[in-house]
Structures are given as C-alpha cells and as structure tokens.
C-alpha cells in the first residue's frame, strides 16, 4: 500500500526550540520518509556562552540548525531577526506565510501560548496569523495559497502556563537515537550551565511514552477550536 508522504514544518522562536521539543517526532517522520522543514524566527544568538561574540555564535547556531535538519534529511531556515527583537508585525507574518506556501506542510508545529519567553509568545501569534494568510487565496503573494490542515503546539518547559498534554505522538528507539544524535549538535543542549536541556527532554520523552503505554512520546496541544472528540456512540 502506498502511503502519501507528508511535510512537517516546525517553527520556533529560536534555533533549537523545535529541535528539542518536537525532535523525536520529527525524527520518527523522517525515518518514515516524510519531509522535515525547520524554521527559526531568530537564531537565539544572545544565549552565547561567556566570552563568545554574539555574531560569531549566531553563525554557529545557523550551522547547528542545518546540521540537525540534514541528519533528518530535511531543510533548515533561519530568519535574520536579532534574538529578543522579534515583533508580531505584518512583515514577519507575511514572511512566515511565504515559507508555509513554499514548504506546503501537512502539519505545522510551533510554540504554545502563555510563555515566559517573549520570542516564544510572539512566534505563537505570528504563526497563527501566517497560517491563515497562507491559506487565503485572495492574498496574492509570489506563491499560491496553501492550507496546513493541522496545527500543533509543542511541550516546552518555558511555555508551561496552562499547557495540558492533549495529543501524544510516540516514536521508537531508532527515532529516539537519531533525535539525540541530531539535537546534540546544538551547544546549548549539551553545554548550557543554566539548564540540563538534553537530560530533561530525554527523560520527558520517556515519561510521556510511559503515559501513552509506548516507549517514547512527545505531547502537543491543539488550537482550542479543534479540541473535540467525535463519536457515534459511547
């Protein structure tokens, strides 16, 4: 039986956001032959290690994004907006709209609302509008309209206020190993002195897997208007 290949577009406020929070699921889709595209609205360069120049670290972050995506057979895009200066304006909404129209994703993953991080919360709002813009035929851009029918919000300790796991997506050991290899290319994931990112998200994947009666899983929220279960009987 031929299974139609999907495109998954993961949009984060910084390089590394989606790679950490949804990377296991992205790796699982990659191993099934689906296309993976990551988009970071900023590089996250102001998290530079002590003694490192911010511009130099930005170049490193862009390389890390590309290395992660390439290991999954995918593509990485990083916007030029400086870290911490992301604005929910028309320019950024249309720029993301254009990426959606070019990538033609079946599903988009981005940040949940109510974040402690300004760029995460702004990304959430930009993506909400950009997804609508991308599907709007009368909005003429270089590329034709495209509707990404599924929108998911990844679980992130920085976006935890009001977050409740709704969708569990499991993945196997091969996907877990590929994800760990790929996400370990990011310096902050393995070297940050402020938070043990890799340890936290590896354990979280196992905990969510146990809850789902699977080996590993990552969880997602969905837009409030799609929070429904349809049944013909109890």
Instruction: Give me the tens of pLDDT residue by residue for the chain, a chain 234 residues long.
Output: 557 899 999 999 999 999 999 999 999 999 999 999 999 999 999 999 988 999 999 999 999 999 999 999 999 999 999 999 999 999 999 999 999 999 999 999 999 998 889 999 999 999 999 999 999 999 999 999 999 999 999 999 999 999 999 999 999 999 999 999 999 999 999 999 999 999 999 999 999 999 999 999 999 999 999 999 889 998
Pick from 79, 75, 127: nearest CA to 103:
75
Return the number of other C-beta atoms located less than 10 Å from residue 213's C-beta: 9
Rounded-to-integer distance, Cα 136 and Cα 220, Å: 26
Report the distance separating Cα 170 and Cα 137, nearest Å: 35
Tell me if the pTM is above 0.85.
yes
Residue 182 CA to residue 72 CA, distance in Å, equals 8
Q: Shortest CA distance to 197 belongs to which of 157, 153, 165, 164?
A: 157
Per 3-state DSSP, what percentage of the chain is helix, strand, and coil (rounded to 5)?
A: 45, 15, 40
In sequence order, what are the residues at sequence separation of 6 or more whose Cβ sits closer than 8 angstroms to the Cβ of residue 69?
A: 36, 37, 38, 75, 76
Q: Distance (Å, rounded) from C-alpha 2 to C-alpha 103?
A: 22
Classified by CATH at the fold level, domain 7-226 comes out as Rossmann fold (3.40.50)
- In angstroms, rounded to a whole number, what is the distance separating the alpha carbons of residues 123 and 119? 6
Q: Which two tokens stand for residue 45?
A: 């360069």
Domain ranges of the chain: 7-226
């Amino acid at each position: 039986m031929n299974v139609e290949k999907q495109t998954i577009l993961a949009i984060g406020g910084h390089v590394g956001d989606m790679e950490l929070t949804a990377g296991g699921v992205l790796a699982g889709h990659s191993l099934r032959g689906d296309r993976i595209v990551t988009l970071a609205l900023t590089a996250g360069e102001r998290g530079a290690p002590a003694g490192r120049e911010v511009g130099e670290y930005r170049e490193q972050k862009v390389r890390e994004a590309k290395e992660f995506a390439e290991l999954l057979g995918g593509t990485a895009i990083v916007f030029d907006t400086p870290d911490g200066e992301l604005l929910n304006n028309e320019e950024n909404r249309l720029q993301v709209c254009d990426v959606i129209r070019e990538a033609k994703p079946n599903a988009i993953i981005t940040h949940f609302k109510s974040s402690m991080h300004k760029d995460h919360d702004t990304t959430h709002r930009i993506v909400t509008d950009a997804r609508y813009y991308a599907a709007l035929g009368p909005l003429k851009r270089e590329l034709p309209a495209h509707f990404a029918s599924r929108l998911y919000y990844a679980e992130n300790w920085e976006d935890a206020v009001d977050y409740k796991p709704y969708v569990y997506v499991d993945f196997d050991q091969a996907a877990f190993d590929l994800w760990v290899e790929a996400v370990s290319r990011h310096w902050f994931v393995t070297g940050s002195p402020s938070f043990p990112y890799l340890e936290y998200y590896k354990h979280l994947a196992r905990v969510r897997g146990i809850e789902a009666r699977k080996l590993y899983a990552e969880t997602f929220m969905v837009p409030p208007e799609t929070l429904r279960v349809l049944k013909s009987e109890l």
